[in-house]
Structure 1
Amino acid sequence: MSTPKLYAGVKLRETRTRLGLTQKAFAEKLGVSLPYLNQMENNHRPVSAGVVLALAQEFGFDVTELSTGDAERVVSDMREALADPVFGANTPPLADLRLAASNAPALARAFLDLHRAYRQTHERLASLDEALGREDAALRPSPWEEVRDFFHYCDNYIDAVDRAAEHFACPDGSPRDPMRAAAEALSKHGIELSFSDNAWLRNYDEAGKTLTLSTNAPSSTQRFQALHQVALLTHDDLLEATLDLARFQSDDARAVAKIGLANYFAGAALLPYRAFLAAAHETRHDLEQLADRFGASIEQVAHRLSTLQRPGAKGIPFFFVRVDQAGTITKRHSATRLQFARFGGACPLWNVYAAFETPGRFLRQLAETPDGVRYLSLAREVSKPSGSFKAPVRRYAIGLGCEVRHAGALVYADGLDLSGRFEPIGISCRICERPDCHQRSVPPLERPLRIDPDRRGQLPYEIGP
């Protein structure tokens, strides 16, 4: 099998510019002619093995940086962006996208930034739900919203924290027992791990050097809470550096985000990336098998599946959501084109709300959003035991889904007619343009209404074009 040719003109130019060398001086150090270097920098010729060797010997250059990984990721991101219905059916061929990513990466990234800004603007429509009817509504986001946006626009994947958690969980390449690993890490800091029948899931006594976990919590929660404290105590510098890069507008937002990052570390250590991704493929994303294998809860597994967005090793893009019995969304993450309303509940036609009626069972739904994208959606009621007769049980429903083109990789697609009927769902009534939905609660924000006092259909108004 022949070795593929390596075109890395952009990387060569960036390296030469960073070193402050002219083309002539750079060519001399690499042992090539000036015209040959010019052709390589413009991708008219591939980078030769001799040039790769000279880069390593002369400049200590990491030759893996010449790989096409960055370009391929940009191509993948552009393909995903161009799948947006706003571009219609005239998608550029793959060869054109690769040329743009290789020869004009700044232009390609500018296009991606523009599309991301468009998506953000579209999502901002949903934020009006919270402001409507409130005289004191402010444009500045609350700390909670600011942190939620931070994770959302990172695709709910924080690379440095994820890799640190994976290294902690798998120092030798294989996952070790999470609780034992947490206890050892705490012990190195002189902290004793204990258990008690108390109201706190986790209580760290800094003065007494003791971390106490509740015996009433499930074992999966105990592991998670222990790993959360490990993140705060042993990886504080990493968490603080990540927060510095985020540049939150308030101290409250930064404090909330630090808890979120520690939670992220805990989830990534409990379900380390490569081991979990391999197990997900092996089990065809069977949540119950994955939960049993890693000693995690169904909710933890579903949440983790929505974070598998590591460059070069991405999992299936999932959305994940958790709702309470009042219909309020309490967690939302999406690596898909489906974006949830920022405030309030989701579409009542979605199966996540029906999950409360069938506790302990997975519900499957084939759904289609107004933009024509089709999804396979799972929903399940989850209860969080209190450990005491007098303490209330917390009940939620979780939803997990992906575009139907990935359905073959999910055990939950078995037996479903993927060519059959798809339930029409939306995001939020205020930004859903379906004119004939029988479950609509309020009119769409940007559509005119026709009101006829002499006629009444399913709604007391008709939605205009």
Structure 2
Amino acid sequence: MSARKLYAGAKLREIRTRLSLTQKDFAAKLGVSLPYLNQMENNNRPVSTTVVLALAQEFGLDVTELGQGDSERLVTDMREALADPVFGDAAPPLADLRLTASNAPALARAFLELHKAYRQTHERLASLDEALGREGTQLQPSPWEEVRDFFHYCDNYIDAVDRTAERFSELLQGEGDIRSATIARLAHKGVKVRFDHNAPLRQFDVTSGVLTLSALAPPETQTFQLLLQVALLRQNPLLEATLDLARFQTEAARGIAKIGLANYFAGAAIMPYGAFLRAAQETRHDLERLAALFGASIEQVAHRLSTLQRPGAKGIPFFFVRVDQAGTITKRHSSTRLQFARFGGACPLWNVHRAFETPGRFLRQLAETPDGVRYISLARDVTKPGGHFGAPVRRYAIALGCEVKHARAMVYADGMDLDRDEAFEPIGISCRICERTTCHQRSVPPLERRLHVTLNRRDVLPYELE
């Protein structure tokens, strides 16, 4: 199979603008003519190998920045939005969507924002009986979705926060384990840490300077919450500056994002980038060994692996997702071409749903998406007990995976037949945009297919797809 040509006009323009160069100067440094550069920036020509090498040699650019991660995300998000029944059967061809994502990404994002606003309005109208009589009811974007999209389009990697957390972790070296060292650092700053069986997970009293943690929480959770509070107390200017750049539309979104950034700091401090990347490579991404090495939970390790996208020192591009027992996605991120459904649950053929049936075990799956890309997926259940009899138990399942070309760098691929076509199970993203015609688990017809209903014949589905 021939490699797909690289069209990255928008990215080239972004790089040139970032370097404050005119087209003429940029073309000269890349060793191409001005018309040729103009054609590449307008996606009339693919980016040549010569230009890719020149970008790396002349500007020290991490050429993986030219990848089509953002474009592919936009295409997937637009396809799913266009699967909304409001658009009927008038979905644009896939080629048009790719052109829009490559040539006019701002327009694509504006379309997604418009559709999101429509959905929120529709949902409000659907529950009008509940809203009647309330004063001040007005349309606002969902804060949760706004924050989710922020991390989604940052590749779940926040460089300034990541590097600051790494430096903080280095400062604690030689002061004992990170938990004890963090408690000592907080005490030096006038913050007293105490543990209480009746306390919530984390509670900080600004007046007394007392940080109370639940004594029932696992040690790795307590350490994580300690470092989260450190981020809020010591790194507030950095967090606020990052939030200013994000320009969230609501205070609620800004607040959720601040907690998200503090969570990011905590994970990056427990598992500092350089040390964690080396350990991941040496252990072949063995989640249990990494959890033991860094005093983290399996979920924390899996999520951290999905953030290793530092320019010039990238790890394997992983996807990471967490679902609840109803199949609803509660966390999602992908550095791969695999994108998750923005609305609704994940594909039922994915092994993440089967993890609830085999608690405490890792499930492995070789899977292929409708675009022909193959992945290795690892799934496991995650149980979060309440800590005492009668307390509610939260149950989730997590999945971590990558494209199969990276599989041999994972210990979980050992013994799997990566070269046999039949070993790969067909999975999708969302039924409305999945092109498979023979899926036995399909819940709704695909948008881009016509239906043929035969009254006197019934197979797995009550219709056939043309």
CA drift at 1:175: 9.3
Counterpart-to-counterpart distance in 2, 1:428 and 1:270: 35
When residues 272 and 104 of structure 1 are mapped into structure 2, their CA distance, relative to the original with a 3 A threshold, is: closer
2:246 equivalent in structure 1: 246
Match of 1:443 among 442, 445, 453: 445
2:77 equivalent in structure 1: 123
The 5-angstrom pairing of residues 406-417 of structure 1 reads: 406-417=406-417
- Please state whether the residue corresponding to 1:402 is helix, strand or coil: strand
Contact 1:178–1:227 (CA<8 Å) still a contact in 2? no
Contact 1:320–1:401 (CA<8 Å) still a contact in 2? yes
- How many residue pairs end up in the alignment? 391
What letter matches 1:439 in structure 2?
Q
What stretches of structure 2 of length at least 5 have no aligned partner? Answer: 1-12, 32-39, 85-115, 127-137
Counterpart-to-counterpart distance in 1, 2:19 and 2:152: 36
Contact 1:174–1:275 (CA<8 Å) still a contact in 2? no
When residues 14 and 384 of structure 1 are mapped into structure 2, their CA distance, relative to the original with a 3 A threshold, is: closer
CA RMSD in angstroms, aligned pairs only: 3.5
Contact 2:30–2:51 (CA<8 Å) still a contact in 1? no
What letter matches 2:76 in structure 1?
H
Counterpart-to-counterpart distance in 1, 2:332 and 2:264: 14
- Please state whether the residue corresponding to 1:98 is helix, strand or coil: helix
When residues 326 and 15 of structure 1 are mapped into structure 2, their CA distance, relative to the original with a 3 A threshold, is: closer
- Per-residue Cα deviation, 1:316-350 (whole angstroms, up to 9, x for no partner): 00000111111111110111110000122111000
When residues 39 and 183 of structure 1 are mapped into structure 2, their CA distance, relative to the original with a 3 A threshold, is: closer
TM-score (norm 1): 0.76
1:332 aligns with 2:305: no
When residues 169 and 417 of structure 1 are mapped into structure 2, their CA distance, relative to the original with a 3 A threshold, is: same
Match of 2:456 among 454, 457, 463: 454
2:163 equivalent in structure 1: 163
1:98 aligns with 2:53: yes
Counterpart-to-counterpart distance in 1, 2:214 and 2:303: 23
What letter matches 1:440 in structure 2?
R
- Please state whether the residue corresponding to 2:390 is helix, strand or coil: coil
What letter matches 1:354 in structure 2?
R
TM-score (norm 2): 0.76
CA drift at 1:242: 0.2
What letter matches 2:362 in structure 1?
F
When residues 463 and 100 of structure 1 are mapped into structure 2, their CA distance, relative to the original with a 3 A threshold, is: farther
What letter matches 2:125 in structure 1?
D
Counterpart-to-counterpart distance in 1, 2:333 and 2:446: 24
1:278 equivalent in structure 2: 278
1:75 equivalent in structure 2: none
2:235 equivalent in structure 1: 235
When residues 234 and 405 of structure 1 are mapped into structure 2, their CA distance, relative to the original with a 3 A threshold, is: same
1:402 equivalent in structure 2: 402
Residues 93-102 or 404-413, more deviating: 93-102
Counterpart-to-counterpart distance in 1, 2:409 and 2:216: 36
Counterpart-to-counterpart distance in 2, 1:92 and 1:282: 35
Contact 2:30–2:54 (CA<8 Å) still a contact in 1? no
- Per-residue Cα deviation, 1:15-63 (whole angstroms, up to 9, x for no partner): 9989xxxxxxxxxxxxxxxxxxx9996467xxxxxxxxxxxxxxxxxxx
When residues 134 and 169 of structure 1 are mapped into structure 2, their CA distance, relative to the original with a 3 A threshold, is: same
CA drift at 1:111: 7.7
- Please state whether the residue corresponding to 2:302 is helix, strand or coil: helix
1:314 aligns with 2:314: yes
Counterpart-to-counterpart distance in 2, 1:266 and 1:443: 43
What letter matches 1:218 in structure 2?
P
1:136 aligns with 2:125: yes
- Please state whether the residue corresponding to 1:136 is helix, strand or coil: helix
Contact 2:322–2:331 (CA<8 Å) still a contact in 1? yes
When residues 101 and 210 of structure 1 are mapped into structure 2, their CA distance, relative to the original with a 3 A threshold, is: same
2:189 equivalent in structure 1: 189
Contact 2:76–2:339 (CA<8 Å) still a contact in 1? no
What letter matches 1:222 in structure 2?
Q
What letter matches 1:442 in structure 2?
V
CA drift at 1:454: 2.5
Higher-Rg structure is 1
Q: Percent identity?
A: 63
Residues 328-337 or 94-103, more deviating: 94-103
- Please state whether the residue corresponding to 1:381 is helix, strand or coil: strand
What letter matches 1:423 in structure 2?
E
Counterpart-to-counterpart distance in 1, 2:375 and 2:18: 44
1:463 aligns with 2:465: yes
Counterpart-to-counterpart distance in 2, 1:126 and 1:16: 35
CA drift at 1:390: 1.3
Contact 2:322–2:398 (CA<8 Å) still a contact in 1? yes
CA drift at 1:101: 6.7
CA drift at 1:123: 1.1
Counterpart-to-counterpart distance in 1, 2:373 and 2:265: 32
- Per-residue Cα deviation, 1:260-284 (whole angstroms, up to 9, x for no partner): 0000001101111111111101111
1:423 equivalent in structure 2: 425
When residues 263 and 176 of structure 1 are mapped into structure 2, their CA distance, relative to the original with a 3 A threshold, is: farther
1:178 aligns with 2:178: yes
What stretches of structure 1 of length at least 5 have no aligned partner? Answer: 1-9, 19-37, 45-77
The 5-angstrom pairing of residues 53-92 of structure 1 reads: none
CA drift at 1:177: 2.1
CA drift at 1:97: 2.9
What letter matches 1:431 in structure 2?
I
Residues 130-139 or 358-367, more deviating: 130-139
